[in-house]
Structure 1
């Protein structure tokens, strides 16, 4: 079934008024085709199979019905009521963030379980009880084995980017997790492709799903342009640098962690604000890097395919394949970082003379048509296609992050020393009324016991020459 008809408004899909009002406040009144097609079926309790490219609005298509269903009753400790499985940490965080505000309106608690983050925080969240759990397969399996989570109460399960999970080798873990979900529940599966292992998941875990395909995975997206740039190997690094120096955000894809780091260093040395993103970095570093890219502090991001599905940044108008992907699926995943939600974008692949046949077959399998160009460093054609320009060639030094303002130590408490209204003091050791302050005497070593006998020296303290220090200590 292909949904190309005009979409109704969110208020016609059966969603609660509070959700519709919040969407309207954010300027979202017309759903994307996948949302208009999938939300009514999901709210009705049917299994839903959605096929569409990344950026087509799938998160809200399954997320809003998920929240409505999860709001029916509170979850018990360690037993979530709804589960969303995703392939990468970044995607898990983005799903959680996209649904949190709407969940708060309905009183639904949302938690995430991903690798690279604190076990303690995740275990505590599960112990307190969460209705919706967003998880990557590996970390969720670990927590279940530790007894920190039980899937026995899950009534609705979502597989997002199912094809990517299968491609990344998560198929055994995914099936093991789905076997722990009680039968008879609702299943929603969203994927850019529906072949291979994804088809096995559909046949095994879904019951007569309602199928909605809004953007076939091998179709040509009209808002996305594809270009093959034929380059000589000796010119490749220079061309990459000139492309990365363009105005705007650019994602450059490579096939290994080492390549990502080395090219990022090459760009920084040429004066381009750049950073690398791959699975070898800790979660905190990956999160900070994405934040810098999103905020414009870094304009070029060099990433591997592992990170491809987790990058959701608005305003990316150019994707560069420095290294050709291994298959047409990876090509589509990479290209999905641009031309999102109807925006325009370009995908550029750098091809050496011995890679041209491979590149043509790759694009043919992906079902896209690409313009081919022979370019050299500094060419006007290179600038016309990619916006490339000459870099500064002065090493880029990342500016320090702005410091957070420090709060006053005393705040507004007039009794606290150093606050906004510090207490007036007299001479050292003297109160305002002229009486002696014993605290000052203690600081000056003049403290005496209440019976006026001098204190005994502490163990290890050198005794004074006076008779009071001759006693036992």
Structure 2
């Protein structure tokens, strides 16, 4: 039986005060978390955080629509930890000692519970994510917030041995960030239960739909108490995402910060028409700049070949595609995040959920097959208030399809013919 009949028209969404950024404390974020955020130089909220936090902190179900990079991870991490922590009588230094004593008492309580012979892991918080990379990035945001309340987090995903994950669960992990497949596998083995989950988040729901994960997501949500708080974040509400909302979210507050096809003000698009003869040199030129840049290809073979070619030509590049094992993916992503390499060559699927700050340029070496992939690729830059450029390379035979895709995506840009040494190209190299 559906739990609601939410109409997804934007007229239902709440607006936000654009006069000034709101401080986290003004939005009702508990004092302990305000401290953690301030220590990381986060003092004011992004729009989707300011929009959703009053409702999510109050325990309302949330349907959040916003493009990747708009601050969604923190938007659900704060209420997830605050709701599970359930300690907000903290306003000044004099109460800090009382807060610490309470956290110590809770830790001891959980330790005694884990020592019982019939202990079955039962995390109280769950975040579902489509990819391992996104799960790790969410966990990085969650961990310091959870630690403030004496709670622990863990990641659950396939492609690696499950021993570490099982050990974390048996150690009493309070919050899981999980990919649906591995989590279902552990549940089938009887290694944990979801009956104690109080807050569940479904992140990048549209990506999970594209990857065929909605059936396991539904099976997992069916094991969680109906009165648990549900938060779902998605760029779009098609391909079955609306069914998940109707079945599992109860009277959700609908928040939309960005239109599903809106062009961000800080993002500049370029469509470069080139020839097959000059394209390879053009790609090398665009890859040679100083800042971080991501080059997208359609296939794993193309990504591997291009990364190798760039490296051999003096432009160190890391590859990210489905043929790499988890250790290789982690190593390459870490090299890109740290700046050891400034160029990442990736396929669409492998790059889903990547959240690396400071990407100055996205190059679509081959136009994607659909407008949604175009917007997803573009969303790797111009994140968190920073400017960025997106270049789409188009061969003569690709012009008509590229025009159609840009129109559907809502991108208005005039194509220009270039060579590798055109001023428009060199300006992007820096």
TM normalised by structure 1 equals 0.79
Relative contact order (C-alpha < 8 Å, sep 6+): which is higher?
2
Aligned: 1:387 with 2:426? no
Q: 1:27 aligns with which of 38, 41, 47?
A: 41
Q: Contact 1:321–1:350 (CA<8 Å) still a contact in 2?
A: yes
Q: Contact 1:83–1:135 (CA<8 Å) still a contact in 2?
A: yes
Show the 5 A alignment for 1:379-458. Answer: 379-384=422-427, 386-387=428-429
Show the 5 A alignment for 1:186-197. Answer: 186-197=229-240
What are the superposed Cα offsets for residues 234-259 of structure 1, whole Å, 9 maximum, x if unpaired?
22212111111122111001111111
How many angstroms apart in 1 are the aligned matches of 2:14 and 2:425?
38
Structure-2 residue corresponding to 1:178 = 221
Structure-1 residue corresponding to 2:17 = 5
Q: 1:326 aligns with which of 352, 365, 369?
A: 369
Q: Contact 1:277–1:304 (CA<8 Å) still a contact in 2?
A: yes
Q: Contact 1:226–1:371 (CA<8 Å) still a contact in 2?
A: no
Q: 2:246 aligns with which of 188, 194, 203?
A: 203
Q: Contact 1:152–1:182 (CA<8 Å) still a contact in 2?
A: yes
How many angstroms apart in 2 are the aligned matches of 1:101 and 1:53?
24
How many angstroms apart in 2 are the aligned matches of 1:29 and 1:363?
37
Structure-1 residue corresponding to 2:308 = 265
SS at match of 2:123: coil
Structure-2 residue corresponding to 1:303 = 346
The alpha-carbon deviation at position 174 of structure 1 amounts to 1.1
Aligned: 1:138 with 2:181? yes
Aligned: 1:52 with 2:66? yes
Structure-2 residue corresponding to 1:78 = 121
Q: 2:191 aligns with which of 148, 163, 168?
A: 148
The alignment's C-alpha RMSD in Å is: 1.5
Aligned: 1:95 with 2:138? yes
Aligned: 1:17 with 2:59? no
How many angstroms apart in 2 are the aligned matches of 1:171 and 1:99?
24
> Structure 2 unaligned runs (5+)?
1-12, 87-105, 114-118
How many angstroms apart in 1 are the aligned matches of 2:425 and 2:59?
52
SS at match of 2:415: strand
Q: Contact 2:16–2:50 (CA<8 Å) still a contact in 1?
A: no
Q: Contact 2:120–2:193 (CA<8 Å) still a contact in 1?
A: no
Runs of 4+ in 1 over 6 A off after TM superposition: none
Q: 2:265 aligns with which of 216, 222, 242?
A: 222
Q: Contact 1:308–1:333 (CA<8 Å) still a contact in 2?
A: no
Q: Label 1:371 to 1:247 Cα distance change in 2 as closer, same or farther (>3 A).
A: farther
What are the superposed Cα offsets for residues 33-57 of structure 1, whole Å, 9 maximum, x if unpaired?
1111111111111100100011110
What are the superposed Cα offsets for residues 97-135 of structure 1, whole Å, 9 maximum, x if unpaired?
111111110111111101222210001111121111100
Aligned: 1:249 with 2:292? yes
The alpha-carbon deviation at position 3 of structure 1 amounts to 2.5
Aligned: 1:66 with 2:80? yes
Q: Contact 1:70–1:108 (CA<8 Å) still a contact in 2?
A: no
The alpha-carbon deviation at position 229 of structure 1 amounts to 0.7
> Structure 1 unaligned runs (5+)?
389-473
How many angstroms apart in 2 are the aligned matches of 1:262 and 1:228?
23
Structure-1 residue corresponding to 2:414 = 371
Structure-1 residue corresponding to 2:91 = none
Structure-2 residue corresponding to 1:39 = 53
SS at match of 1:340: coil
SS at match of 2:272: strand
Structure in which a larger fraction of residues adopt helix: 2
The alpha-carbon deviation at position 2 of structure 1 amounts to 4.3
What are the superposed Cα offsets for residues 284-334 of structure 1, whole Å, 9 maximum, x if unpaired?
111111111111111110001112223211111100111111211111111
How many angstroms apart in 2 are the aligned matches of 1:52 and 1:145?
34
Structure-2 residue corresponding to 1:291 = 334
Show the 5 A alignment for 1:343-354. Answer: 343-354=386-397
Structure-2 residue corresponding to 1:342 = 385
Q: Contact 1:3–1:34 (CA<8 Å) still a contact in 2?
A: no
How many angstroms apart in 1 are the aligned matches of 2:138 and 2:25?
22
Task: Name whichever of 372-381 and 44-53 sits farther off.
Answer: 372-381
